[in-house]
Amino acid sequence: MNREHKKNTKEISPEFSVVIPIYNEEENIPELYRRLITVMDKLCIDEGYTVDNYEIIMVDDGSKDNSWQLIKNLHNKDTRVKGISFSRNFGHHVAVLAGIDHLKGNYAILMDGDLQDQPEEIPKLIAKTKEGYDIIQGVTLKRHLNPIQNIFSKTFNKVFTKISTVDPKTRVGLFRCLTKPVVESIKKLPERAIFFGGIVSWVGFKTAHVPVNRVPRYAGKSKYNFLKRFGLATNAIISFSEKPLIFIFQLGIIVFLFSISMFGYAIVRKIFYNVSIIGWTSIFAAIFFSTGLITLSLSIVGLYISKLFIEIKQRPKYIIKENIE
């Protein structure tokens, strides 16, 4: 379906808001729009609404390609398409929050712009809201990652589930539906360094998990390289767990007790047996171990301090260069 659509002169408040973060997705936007309006038009009619009862909010996260121009072109022919353009790249999760800040619907549908999240799966999420659920998360049946990415993803999920104060379902990406109360709760949170999956789990509410099919990207390459994935994982752990600090404390106690024991052992041998413990190898091993432990500990503490520094500066989460409604 590729038709021009203009709203009626009378403003209609949307029932559904589809939020899509966009970063260099010019190859995917036309197909994403075509499939999305086909699904949403039918969904609205099936639910007893008109085809004007939804909005599509595309948040351009500082794209370097023609993505923003394509979004503006779509808005010119279909005013249900809204656009937000950042002044620079602020990050995937921040783009999602910007969309949440500006949506008007009673139900927020969040999905990526690469068509790995399929628009045709949206009705599954909406159907669950009728059972009283406020958060409906799409659980991926199969993820299309290379072996290294797959190992990293599984390791992160296991570590995060073990040490975090929230418990996001394994294999959950962005694809989900949130009701208005959840959206309003998220909008009140002041964090600037965002891990969105953790925030959604932290706010609570009745949650359902729906199996969905995730397919390879329609076009282009993933924007998440190893360093970005590692940075996201680090931010997630620092944001939702104090256990690394507790681990440092416990490890410090163990090393301290071990050092005291070895010192006592050396004194006893010297006093009662006149035997000195010698060996440069063991001394250097102990020095390197202690130095490594101190460096690791300071690094972990530094990450927490860095996050605190980001929060207390109270800079805006994002800066909007252009907004089309």
* DSSP state, residue 63: -
pLDDT given at position 3: 47
Task: Give the total residue count for the chain.
Answer: 325
pLDDT given at position 91: 83
pLDDT at residue 45 greater than cutoff 80: yes
**Rounded Cα gap, residues 74 and 166, in angstroms:** 39
pLDDT given at position 181: 93
**Rounded Cα gap, residues 114 and 90, in angstroms:** 18
- Identify the band that residue 1 occupies on the pLDDT scale cut at 50, 70 and 90: very low
pLDDT at residue 64 greater than cutoff 80: yes
- Identify the band that residue 290 occupies on the pLDDT scale cut at 50, 70 and 90: confident
Measured CA distances, 296 to 14, 244, 289 (Å):
51, 11, 11
pLDDT given at position 292: 67
92-102 helix and 180-187 helix, angle to the nearest 10 degrees: 120
pLDDT tens track for 143-162: 555 566 566 566 656 665 56
**Rounded Cα gap, residues 100 and 134, in angstroms:** 15
Considering only 28-32, 90-94, 171-175, which range has the smallest mean pLDDT? Answer: 171-175
Establish how many alpha carbons lie within 13 A of residue 105's alpha carbon, considering only the half-sphere containing its beta carbon.
26
Higher-pLDDT residue of 313, 200: 200
Cβ contacts of 130 within 8 Å, gap of 6 or more: none
pLDDT at residue 262 greater than cutoff 80: no
pLDDT tens track for 88-98: 988 888 899 99
pLDDT given at position 153: 60
pLDDT at residue 300 greater than cutoff 80: no
Report which listed range, 2-6, 132-136, 260-264, is most confident: 132-136
Mean pLDDT of the chain: 78
Nearest to 236 by CA among 279, 201, 203: 201
- Identify the band that residue 229 occupies on the pLDDT scale cut at 50, 70 and 90: low
User: Alpha carbon 35 to chain centroid distance?
Assistant: 24
20-45 average pLDDT score: 92
- Identify the band that residue 170 occupies on the pLDDT scale cut at 50, 70 and 90: very low
- Identify the band that residue 214 occupies on the pLDDT scale cut at 50, 70 and 90: confident
300-315 average pLDDT score: 71
